[in-house]
Amino acid sequence: MHSFLELRQDLELQKLINVSAKLGRDPLQVQGPGGNTSIKRDGAMWIKASGTWLAEATERDIFVPVFAKAFAEAVRTRKPGAGNTRDFAAKVENAPPHHASIETCVHAVLDWPVVLHTHCVETIAVAVRKNAELLVSEALSDLEAVFIPYIKPGLDLAYSIIERTTPKTRVLVLGNHGLVATGNTVDGAEALLLEVSRRLSKLNEHENPPTLCAIPPEALGAGWMAAPSHKTQTVAFTEHLIEKLQANTLYPDHLIFLGPGCAIAEPGESVHQAAERASAGDASRKLVLVPGRGVAIPTDSTPAMLALANGFGEIITRIPKDAELTYLTKSQEDELINWDAEKLRQELNKKAETA
């Protein structure tokens, strides 16, 4: 346990805590409990726990110890049960009693000491496009960046990263998912992450004006309210964006917290009716778009749902009119909705929100 205790007392971990909180409080980088950060040395790793929020990093102990070297070896050799994070949890005195993140295997297989993973809106707005790989290679050609097409988070993603990266790879743009920046130091990894965000922002739309919701109270009905973000409301007033939302979900956390895609109300439908129709025989839609009127979410939305609804507006309004998009398939949606590890993350997040 010496390596864990030594690393825990290192100034770099304190820097990671501070940067984690800063990223977690930036809605353009992290929405709700999304994202993850870690630091490792000599086979020992401290990583954000499942169900916790990066924004809380300076307020409560959210990092848990994991045997990173053993975990990485199990994944690289495809050892049976390699995806079971609990098997690689370390017992360290006074460590918080949390589960390690479902993305722990991804952090473990990346050889860099510091790994920062965010759901950067500038990145996702690029990563959902059909030509994302080309865009990334052109914009980040000098940053040792690799595009990873969408694959289920966790072990499957770790396998894909191993196949597509080299020891020199420093940046991962995850298709329909987010951004990973690495480094030898926390400062270096943070600077790299912000530089990637800055460059990718140039590929996005930034001219959509914020809009107020115009859904009449009788159409909202009981149990629904206007989504708080003006950016989110803008989507309902932008025809080409409405057209892009007729298909499946664009990125995982939207699906997990708001349901598959969004319900688009038909003429004369109330918000409740649109949600019921769109959710028939499927997971419930918790975001309803009324063209020309606005966007609604449940009145009992959790902080995570509110954060994801706000993030939805930030991401969707950045997508250019002529962009062709890649969506999660129905089977990809189903594997996330029915994933035990993701259900655990949601349950832990609910407990954290009510604590």
Contact 39, 46 (CB under 8 A): yes
Q: What are residue 226's DSSP bridge partners?
A: 296
Domain borders along the chain are 2-201, 217-317+325-354
pLDDT for 1 equals: 56
Fill in the DSSP letter of residue 265: P
pLDDT for 207 equals: 86
Dist. CA 302–CA 353, nearest whole Å: 8
Q: CA nearest 1: which of 96, 97, 67?
A: 67
DSSP code string of 46-89: EEEBTT--GGGTTTS--EEEEEHHHHHHHHHTT-TTTT-GGGGB
Does residue 294 sit in helix, strand or coil? strand
Structure tokens belonging to residue 311: 């993030």
Tell me the fold of 2-201.
Answer: L-fuculose-1-phosphate Aldolase (3.40.225)
pLDDT for 348 equals: 45
pLDDT for 334 equals: 92
pLDDT for 345 equals: 46
Distances (CA, A) of 111 to 38, 94, 114, 165, 246: 12, 27, 9, 11, 40
Dist. CA 52–CA 54, nearest whole Å: 7
Fill in the DSSP letter of residue 222: T
pLDDT for 339 equals: 75
pLDDT for 350 equals: 52
Provide the mean pLDDT of the chain: 93
Question: Within the chain, where are the H helices?
Answer: 2-8, 11-24, 68-76, 104-109, 121-127, 132-139, 155-164, 186-201, 217-220, 230-235, 239-244, 252-258, 271-279, 303-316, 330-337, 340-354
From first to last of the 355 residues of the chain, give the pLDDT tens digit. 568 888 888 999 999 999 999 999 999 999 999 999 999 999 999 999 998 999 999 999 999 999 999 999 999 999 998 888 899 988 888 888 888 988 999 999 999 999 999 999 999 999 999 999 999 999 999 999 999 999 999 999 999 999 999 999 999 999 999 999 999 999 999 999 999 999 999 999 998 787 899 999 889 988 999 999 999 999 999 999 999 998 899 999 999 999 999 999 999 999 999 999 988 767 789 999 999 999 999 999 999 999 999 999 999 999 999 999 999 999 999 999 887 544 444 454 554 455 5
pTM beyond cutoff 0.75: yes
pLDDT for 93 equals: 80
pLDDT for 97 equals: 80
CA 37-21-42 angle, 5° bins: 35
